[in-house]
Structure 1
Amino acid sequence: MTERFIPPHPPRSAGPVPVWRGFVGERARTAVYGWSERAFELPYFGRKVFGYNVHIPLTPDAVQRVLLDNAANYVKPDIVKTLLDPTIGRGLLSSDGQLWRDQRKIVAANFAPAAIDALIPVFARTARNASEAWRAADRLDMAEAATATTMRIIADALFAGDPRLATDAAMAHIAAALEGVSEARLQALLGLPLFPWSRRGRRALRGRTYLRQTLTEVVKDRLPDGGPDDFLGRLIRALYDKFESAEALALAVDNAATFYLAGHETTANTITWTLFLLSEQPDLQTQAADEARAALAAGADDPALPDRLPLLRRIVEESMRLYPPVPRFDRQAVAADQLGEALVSPGDIVSIWPWLLHRHRKLWDDPDAFDADRFAPGRERHRFQYIPFGGGPRVCVGSRFATAEALTVLAHWLARWSFAPEPGREVRPSGMVTLRPAGGLPLRLTARP
């Protein structure tokens, strides 16, 4: 029996939080900041936000209706498309209808189980290379280390190791682009042009511009035949077979940006939060390290490696429950519908919050406490109670890739190093699009004997 551990979460007020608070202070910078205690108990609540009716369903059945049972009625909101267009255009993440179906079919083949199995050696090699440069007793920012590692993996696994995609400059520009979302969100809600009026906004613009220009160069360098037989090469060839040249080029860049950004940022944060949770629970960390060593001894590059890590898998799943990679995502109703007792009108926004669902008191016992055994075999739950990768037809196409990557990287790092907290360091979640520890995650490293 391990000691009860409650990892940090933002403070909660007793009563409702005014809508305007979402656009000033910390709540404007951190999506999960400022919720009331009631938000983790109610089955549903609605809000009016700058003329939009926003529904927040908090029962798995209602979430299932939006994401699965009546998924065709709920599309990507216009405002989300406005926010995403400068960075990922009309790629898989931001498209709907036939365009989404065409792209999903093209992309899905690259993430089939056999394709992921073939990438385990890439995950393992990159994890080993990263950790070999560390030194005992160092104070290392593991958020930065995880981001650099997953960026290198994406570059190697999906883009044939293109050196332009694994630089410090690229990492800085991605962080700036993500941090600028809060400013652009307010402008989009007010119907204003997306103009960078602050220093953060200008950094975000430079970040988006850098990424789009770099990825356009990467794609154009592959033409006319797509180049190597990797994810990007197969994507380019399939798009040029399906679409006219100009549209195929645009969609190739859009999807390159989508998978480059989403493919490393969310996994890096999952690895980071898992290391934080283990650093605070040394006995559990030792158990996970022992499991990792045994699994690696049976084959460090073996495609079956993730299957030999049941404890670590449960820890990662609990990490994504407490700190979901994407804390919220939205849909917009095409036609009228009903979610429980709430009537949904055409044009209404339905906001799905893994952050609230994953910590909801009606769905979980002691929801703010860490308990990896929630995911032990035989423990049942509603399929839409736990949605770190979304759900329904639009469930994240790269979920298997991300899970195998996180497990492989963590296994190699835990087998070689132990991680301890930096004394006096406050850890708190931050971010509007994804959740990362504010200011990084410095940890103390000690080599395992």
Structure 2
Amino acid sequence: MATAPLFEPVQPMRTPDWVPVWRGFFGERLRNTIYGWPEPAFDADIRTRRVLGFTVHIVSQPAAVERVLLGNKANYERPGIARRILSPLVGNGLLSAEGEDWRKQRRIVAPTFAPGAVAAMAPLMDAAAKREVADWPQRDARLDLAQAATRTTMAIIADALFGGDARLCDPAGARHIETLLAAAGQARFMTMLGLQELDPSPGMRRARVSRAWLRKTLSDLVRERGPEGGGDDFFGGLIRALHGQFTPDEAVELAVDNAITFFVAGHETTANALAWTIYCLAAQPALQDEARSEAVAALALPVAERAAAMPLLHQILEESMRLYPPAPRFDREALAGDVLSGVNIAKGDLISIWPWVIHRHRSLWPNPDRFDHTRFAPQAKARQHRFQFIPFGGGPRVCVGARFATVEALLILARWLAARRFSVPPGWRPDPYGSVTLRPRGGIILRAELLA
């Protein structure tokens, strides 16, 4: 029997060769960070460019990435320009902090995402997924699965980390976060010069309104809890721990900053991973049926055991995150000279690491633009370099919520697959859109059919 050809999911246009740097500050290249990548980027180990006075090295060789994120990590920190972009949104929370401040905050939050703690939160995740599916039309219908993913992951973050506060499930919150992330991901001249507060563009004006909404909402939560935290949930424990290690004013600011970090990052990246995964499954009916059988069997088990009982779905999720990494880029700044991929790195140089490029690099993956979940079968995965698949980053700063996000995604996908059969409507295509995260612009619009 002939083998079916591998499915090739959509991606934005590429160019035959590198284009001048200035073109990245205009049009679709400004709006969408994964648009217009040159074909040679997917063969190169390293590429050096000059951008507004900065020397930027785009590093794609896994060994070099490992040196930046792990082997010589003390020499590389988040760039000052990146902190200028992120600090208006997340302040000095875990995402943007450096040095001892970062280590203190990481120690505070790490126990919440330990394996046992995540297993204890699995029933909350499953309950939110069940509520979402119960609200779907009881007939065949078109659904926006990106919106469904956002609603579900926001509800899970609110329930699991913030005591179920209803304000964190306000639909306005998702719109404000989308506005902020879109603005943060754009390489605007005024942002790179540290003048984003003076940027008069409509997008930046909207971003400032959204930032004010988000900070006020989370500041209200911190103020209402008070210095004792007012609860046994993650947020209450975070507030108490911060007051134990920082001055009262610093503790309040860091509580707000980390509340924003975990509210935004805690649902946004998982929601995008879910949306892209269900699109990839909808386009492959036979694989979807196989995953559905596994999911239905897993739903008969205690909820804490289900994620481990779905190895096929886990492979599918990982392959989807390879093709559509939740965070398409991250950057570091060299504090001293070094050598990466045979290229001399000077103090102050920027190292730009793009999972979007590494995950589709032709020297690392056969047929890299095609979907093949067997890349993540145990034997195949064991042959990979540990820094060629980095959907959650790598090294000490690997995403602290990676386990939480993976279990959450698998439990939600199991509920979706057990409830509906998904297909791609004729003529419809998703639109991958890169900013700080990798969203499907316009949603993931699928036909969802009731199962017989």
Aligned-partner Cα distance in 1 for 2:187–2:362? 33
Match of 1:213 in 2: 216
| Larger deviation, residues 67-76 vs 424-433 | 424-433
Offset of 1:245 from its aligned partner?
0.3
| Structure 2: runs of 5 or more not aligned | none
Match of 1:122 in 2: 124
TM-score (structure 1 length as normaliser): 0.98
Structure 1 residues 400 and 182: CA distance shift in structure 2, 3 A: closer
Deviations 1:416-439 (A, max 9, x none): 111111221121201311111111
Offset of 1:184 from its aligned partner?
6.7
Match of 2:154 in 1: 151
Offset of 1:255 from its aligned partner?
0.4
Aligned-partner Cα distance in 1 for 2:185–2:28? 11
Question: In the alignment, which of 32, 36, 54 is matched to residue 38 of structure 2?
Answer: 36
Aligned-partner Cα distance in 2 for 1:180–1:351? 19
Match of 1:165 in 2: 168
Amino acid at match of 2:168: L
Aligned-partner Cα distance in 2 for 1:426–1:189? 33
Offset of 1:337 from its aligned partner?
1.0
SS of the residue corresponding to residue 37 of structure 2 reads coil
Deviations 1:71-105 (A, max 9, x none): 01110110111111111000011011111111111
| Larger deviation, residues 394-403 vs 412-421 | 412-421
| Larger deviation, residues 208-217 vs 415-424 | 415-424
Amino acid at match of 1:285: Q
Aligned-partner Cα distance in 1 for 2:446–2:18? 36
Offset of 1:446 from its aligned partner?
0.7
Deviations 1:205-239 (A, max 9, x none): 11111000000001111113101111111111110
Deviations 1:340-388 (A, max 9, x none): 2111111111001101100000011010000000000111100001100
Match of 1:382 in 2: 385
Is the CA contact 1:122–1:153 (under 8 Å) kept in the aligned structure 2?
Answer: yes
Match of 1:316 in 2: 317
> Does 1:256 pair with 2:259?
yes
Match of 1:99 in 2: 101
Amino acid at match of 1:69: G
Offset of 1:298 from its aligned partner?
2.3
SS of the residue corresponding to residue 15 of structure 2 reads coil
Amino acid at match of 1:60: P
Offset of 1:13 from its aligned partner?
1.3
Aligned-partner Cα distance in 2 for 1:418–1:310? 20
Aligned-partner Cα distance in 2 for 1:262–1:203? 20
Aligned-partner Cα distance in 1 for 2:76–2:185? 23
Aligned-partner Cα distance in 1 for 2:189–2:164? 37
Deviations 1:386-412 (A, max 9, x none): 100000010000000000000000001
SS of the residue corresponding to residue 448 of structure 2 reads strand
| Structure 1: runs of 5 or more not aligned | none
Match of 1:10 in 2: 12
Amino acid at match of 1:364: W
Match of 1:21 in 2: 23
Deviations 1:46-77 (A, max 9, x none): 11000000011111100000000000111011
TM-score (structure 2 length as normaliser): 0.97
Offset of 1:17 from its aligned partner?
1.9
Aligned-partner Cα distance in 1 for 2:421–2:119? 27
Match of 1:419 in 2: 422
Match of 1:362 in 2: 363
Question: In the alignment, which of 138, 141, 153 is matched to residue 141 of structure 2?
Answer: 138
Question: In the alignment, which of 428, 432, 437 is matched to residue 431 of structure 2?
Answer: 428
Aligned-partner Cα distance in 2 for 1:50–1:93? 25
Amino acid at match of 2:422: F
Deviations 1:21-65 (A, max 9, x none): 211111111111111110000111011000000011111100000
Aligned-partner Cα distance in 2 for 1:91–1:287? 41
Amino acid at match of 1:68: L
Offset of 1:122 from its aligned partner?
0.6
Is the CA contact 2:58–2:353 (under 8 Å) kept in the aligned structure 1?
Answer: yes
Is the CA contact 2:186–2:435 (under 8 Å) kept in the aligned structure 1?
Answer: no
Aligned-partner Cα distance in 1 for 2:6–2:400? 34
Percent identity, aligned pairs only, is 52
Amino acid at match of 2:177: I
Aligned-partner Cα distance in 1 for 2:295–2:206? 40
Aligned residues between the structures: 447
> Does 1:234 pair with 2:242?
no
Match of 2:329 in 1: 328
Alignment RMSD (CA, Å): 1.1
Offset of 1:195 from its aligned partner?
2.6
Map 1:32-111 → 2, pairs under 5 A: 32-111=34-113
SS of the residue corresponding to residue 272 of structure 2 reads helix
Aligned-partner Cα distance in 1 for 2:345–2:411? 43
SS of the residue corresponding to residue 239 of structure 1 reads helix
SS of the residue corresponding to residue 36 of structure 2 reads coil
Is the CA contact 1:83–1:185 (under 8 Å) kept in the aligned structure 2?
Answer: no
Structure 1 residues 54 and 273: CA distance shift in structure 2, 3 A: same
Is the CA contact 1:92–1:103 (under 8 Å) kept in the aligned structure 2?
Answer: yes
Amino acid at match of 2:351: V
